[in-house]
Every structure is written in C-alpha cells, then in structure tokens.
Amino acid sequence: MSVISKPEDIEKLRHSGRILASCCYHMEELLKPGTSAKDLNTFCTEFIRSYHAEPSFLNYAGFPHALCFSNNDEVVHGLCTPEKILKPGDVLSVDLGVNYEGLFSDTAATYIITEDGIDRSCKFHFIESWKETKPTVLDEAPPLELKRKRELLDATSKSLMKGIAVVRHGAKTGDIGHAVGSFLASRGYGNVTQLGGHGLGYEVHCEPFISHTGRKGTGSFLVENMVIAIEPMVTLGKSGQVRFVKNNQYGWEEIKSKDGTIAAHFEHSMLVTKKSCEVFTRIQEKDVLPVQAEVSELLQK
C-alpha cells in the first residue's frame, strides 16, 4: 500500500505526473503512419531523462522498454519491437510510467491512427485545455469500422472517469469496480477482469488491487493520501478474455484479446483526498514541460 506521508513527497509525486503528462502530450505529435514503436520508446526515454527522472517500466519485472506499445488486438504489455510500425486504421494503446526521485506515476491512453496523425474524437486528455487547443473534428458519417473504434475508445475512457468519480477517503475498491464494470456492461463491451489497476507511489505496483468489476461496499478501504491507478482494459468482443503470447527473443509475454478483437486501455494515477481525489497525471496547459533541445535533435536524426 502506498500512502504518502510527507508533504515534500506529494510535491515530488505531482512533478512525476507532470513529467509523464508532458511526455505523453508531446508524444501525440509523433503518432502517425510510419512511426515505429522504437521511435516512440526512444522519445519517451530521452524526454523523461531530460527532466532528471527515469522510465519506471524499463527493466521492471524483466520488461525491456520504457513504453508499452500495444496495437489492435494487443491489450497491454506490448513490446517496442522494430517491426511494429504505425499505419492508418491502427488502434494503439500506450502505457508509460515515470520515477521521479522515488515517486512513481503511471498513465495510458488509446488512439486511432489516421492518414496524417490521430483521430481526435475521444475526449480523454492529459492537458486540461485540450479541447480548446486541439479541437475535435468528426466526420458527418464515418465508416462503420471507424465508428465502432470510436465508440470503443469513448466507452473505455468514460468508464475510467466513472471510476475516478467515486474515489474518496472511506470508499472501497469494490465501489470503483462497480462503477467501471456496470458502465461497461451497459455498453456491451468485454471487460478484461483478469487484469486491473493498482496502488503506486513509492513503488511501480503495489496493493491494493483495483478490479474493474465488483460490488459496492466491498474490497479494501481507500484512505487519504493513498495513491492508486485505475486502468480499464476493454475489448470489442464481449468476452473480455485474454491470452498471453510469449516473445522468445525478449523473454516477455504480451497480452492479447483471446477472440482477436481490438482493445482499448485508459489510465490515470490519483491521490486520494478526503472528499474526492487529485488526478496528478492530468495537468494544466501552462504546466506542460517543453521538449528539450537535445531530445528534439535526437528525433531529427
């Protein structure tokens, strides 16, 4: 369990989230056809290190990269292998963490890759003023396949917000699971219940386990200054079942939907407060950290 006891550690936690949100915000500009998983991994690694922090997933439990790159039927824990190159129509989930002076943040988001970037229909965002600075443009009559992808992302991101809405001191983990799970059930999607959210703060992952299904009033209590991550993983297919696929070269298991349907994944980290929570992986536009010159030069090589 990660309960943050020192005020200075709460500030470090917020800065960890600021680095992470800033990195993801800038990374969105690289999400376009032709960009490789290796390119994204390099950018994230160098951006995070340019702010005197470390990618928290790198070498954690044997994971060889900074970024989890999960494409289409890959649900989570996707590798950044050289052959993974984005193309129009891909549904890409990225999951990233930051360790800043021993305080950990974690976030994830899913994108639809278009001909020249990313589809802006999903309302999930790392920056509070995102809708003003990057307006959404929707087709009047999108093709059925695109419409289904948009609806999947919309349902998954909204289920995360449903979970966040019930977080407060004295609530229980089952309250989160019920909020997320009942919403997804009403939409008819597959809720990946084999996996879930977690505690963090002083560690990458720790108790409590945050299931995305459950009953109100059950599970572990949430307490003030506890740090948790909620991260619904959802498949287009209704079963929500997954399979573990071993990559022998890297000695790692990627997790894919069992029925081969596309998946979406959204995540925020938050600090529990008396009456609600502080989502510290979502920041104001004025607080976005710039891309340092050495990182920009690296991308241009």
- The full set of domain ranges for the chain reads 7-300
How sure is the predictor about 130, in pLDDT bands with cuts at 50, 70 and 90?
very low
Strand partners, 263: 235
Closest CA to 152 of 126, 191, 125: 191
Q: Is 175 annotated as a binding residue?
A: no
Distance in angstroms (rounded) separating the CA atoms of residues 254 and 215? 30
CATH superfamily, region 7-300: Creatinase/methionine aminopeptidase superfamily (3.90.230.10)
Tokens standing for residue 202: 């002083």
- Look up the pTM and report it: 0.94
Q: Is 205 annotated as a binding residue?
A: yes
Count the neighbouring beta carbons within 10 Å of the beta carbon of residue 81.
18
Q: Is 254 annotated as a binding residue?
A: no
> pLDDT digits over 174-224, tens only?
999 999 999 999 999 999 999 999 999 999 999 999 999 999 999 999 999
Q: Which residues of 255-288 are buried (b: 16+ CB within 10 A; e: fewer)?
A: bbbbbebbbbbbbbbbbbeeeebbbbbbbeeeeb
Q: Is 119 annotated as a binding residue?
A: no
> pLDDT digits over 77-99, tens only?
999 999 999 999 999 999 999 99
Q: Is 95 annotated as a binding residue?
A: yes
